[in-house]
Amino acid sequence: MRSSSFVVAGVLAASLLSTPALARIPGISGRSGKPAPDGTAGRTCATCHAPGATVPTVEISGPTSVVAGTTNQYTFIIRGGPAVAGGANLAVDRAEASLGLVENSGLKILNGELVQAEPTAFSNGEVRFDFSMIAPGNGGVVTIYGAGNSVNGDGTTAGDGVATKKLEVTVQVTDGTDAGTDVDAGTDVDAGTDVDAGTDPDHDHDHDHDEDKGGGCSSTSGAPLLTFVLGAAGLTLLRRRRA
């Protein structure tokens, strides 16, 4: 009976250490590869998971230019390696920025970072973790760091593959003035005021002045007519006297 009890206990222990049991273990923060405040290289999943497997490829997919204060969607993708299950740790390098959860992402928040709630099984050769990044209210660059772990599911930390990736995101600050800068700076109407500078009405106005000036010319052209009338009258008077 004791022998049977030991056998049952051994089976239960083995079950607890099996892949399904370990698959429920959440991730650890501080393993995203983000450098330490003193500039030293950041730690990754390889701190615990020993190398020895094919290294996977990881990708952070999402916009590289965002508007300050907005929430933007990203996906952390793991491909290759042992490819049985995958886990991740994601972080940002600025306190003003933050990472957020997406429904059914398989992630959770731990110490201001994102980690897997439990290892996620590969599907179609990859594991995808969706998340969001809330941009800071000021401009600059935010770097998203991510470490991905492709595990073999043997219940140990040996034979797993780890890879890291970072994505630099430019944060743009826009307001009413900045939003219209291009229009204000390059307005053809304001800059070129061709209509104002060379308006035909202005030329017409000048022409009117010319006509006003030319009024003297009209008076001058009337002088020969007056001479002609006076001459004709004198000639008529002269003829009458001779008659």
11 belongs to a structural domain:
no
For residue 39, give the 3-state DSSP assignment: coil
Tell me, what's the pLDDT at 49?
62
Residue pair 60/91 in contact by the 8 Å Cβ criterion? no
Beta pairing partners, 115 = 89, 108
237 belongs to a structural domain:
no
Whole-angstrom distance between the N-terminal and C-terminal Cα of the chain?
Answer: 177
Tell me, what's the pLDDT at 50?
58
Consecutive H or E run containing 192? helix 188-192
Tell me, what's the pLDDT at 192?
47
Same domain, 103 and 206: no
CATH number of domain containing 115: 2.60.40.680
Domain end point (choices 124, 147, 173)? 173
C-alpha 219/C-alpha 213 separation (Å) is 11
Same domain, 155 and 84: yes
1 belongs to a structural domain:
no
Domain end point (choices 173, 189, 215)? 173
As given in the structure block, the two tokens for residue 69 are: 């204060």
Tell me, what's the pLDDT at 189?
40
Tell me, what's the pLDDT at 99?
98
Residue pair 45/78 in contact by the 8 Å Cβ criterion? no
5 belongs to a structural domain:
no
16 belongs to a structural domain:
no
Domain end point (choices 153, 173, 193)? 173
17 belongs to a structural domain:
no
**3-state DSSP helix/strand/coil % of the chain, to nearest 5:** 35, 30, 35
131 belongs to a structural domain:
yes
Intervals of the chain under pLDDT 70: 1-24, 42-52, 175-243
Q: Which stretches of the chain are assigned E, i.e. beta strand?
A: 57-61, 65-67, 71-79, 85-92, 98-101, 107-110, 113-116, 120-121, 126-134, 140-151, 161-172
Q: Give the structural domain span for 155.
A: 26-173
Residue 27 makes CB contacts below 8 A (sequence gap 6+) with 87, 88, 89, 110, 115, 116, 117
Same domain, 83 and 195: no
4 belongs to a structural domain:
no
Same domain, 214 and 156: no
Same domain, 94 and 147: yes
Number of domains the chain contains: 2
Tell me, what's the pLDDT at 19?
39
Tell me, what's the pLDDT at 217?
40
Same domain, 188 and 88: no
For residue 123, give the 3-state DSSP assignment: strand
